[in-house]
Amino acid sequence: MRFNRFLIHSALVGGCALLASASSFAAAPVGELEVRGQARVTQATDQGTLNLRNTSYGWFSGDRVDTRNAQAVLNLDSGASLGFGENTRASVSVEGGIAVELESGVVLYAVEDSAGHMTLTSGDYTFTTAASSQPQVLQVSNDSGWSMGIVQRMDDGSLQVSVREGALNASNAAGAVQYQVEAGDSVSFADGEVRQVQVQVQAAEQAGGGGVAGGLLANPAVIGLAVVGAAYGTFRVGFSSSDDDPDPAPVSP
């Protein structure tokens, strides 16, 4: 009888330990958000809010950022990175891929194929780096292995997409739009219509070490952010300003 009680007690203790371990693993951050200026993060776990100023924050899947007058860069553990311009509200989840929901503002992205595909939704439109399932959409080969570009939600609700590397496949909720934005193209999506737009792209500058690969996309909404090259042919979104980092400030609720 005592032996059975011992077994039951051991099983309960072991089960609780496993549950606690699984809960801790599930709640682990999926990346790090670096903020320049003052921004607000709404946490997915308890919907609490944090005010961040010139600091870094461990990002959890489903968290939401409101940059206000700040800029922020999210470096995910998968190697992908996202830049958020001023006045941007967006959430990012990581579950078998990267899911971005853009409410307002602009997102600059750099995603390696091995990091999984990125899907961005905003309004009625969905954009993905994954290959299109539509047979009428011609698939563009991506020799670099990276997808880079900008998605911006304009004040009138239209969406402007500029692709630097790879391609973005676009569709709308009604199914009336199936379009692939290729590298070098800038396209506007509004009310089920698609049109080419002109966006100036600055030439890449050479720098020491890995240098700048892809240069700056000269979009006023993302001035201060850039896709930069690192060692071994990897890329990330970073701050393009050469100013020294400001002193970190504490995180406040």
| CATH at 64 | 2.60.120.1440
Q: Is residue 184 part of a domain?
A: yes
pLDDT value of position 245: 47
- Positive or negative torsion for Cα 205, 210, 213, 216: negative
pLDDT value of position 60: 97
Q: How many domains does the chain have?
A: 1
Q: Is residue 166 part of a domain?
A: yes
pLDDT value of position 211: 36
Q: Is residue 62 part of a domain?
A: yes
- Cβ atoms of residues 36 and 226 within 8 Å: no
Q: Is residue 182 part of a domain?
A: yes
pLDDT value of position 112: 92
Residue-number span of the structural domain to which 66 is assigned: 32-239
Q: Is residue 15 part of a domain?
A: no
pLDDT value of position 49: 95
Q: Is residue 231 part of a domain?
A: yes
Blockwise average pLDDT, block size 10, the chain, 253 residues = 47 45 62 97 91 97 97 96 96 95 96 92 95 52 77 95 94 89 93 78 35 46 78 79 50 58
Q: Is residue 144 part of a domain?
A: yes
pLDDT value of position 6: 45
Q: Is residue 5 part of a domain?
A: no
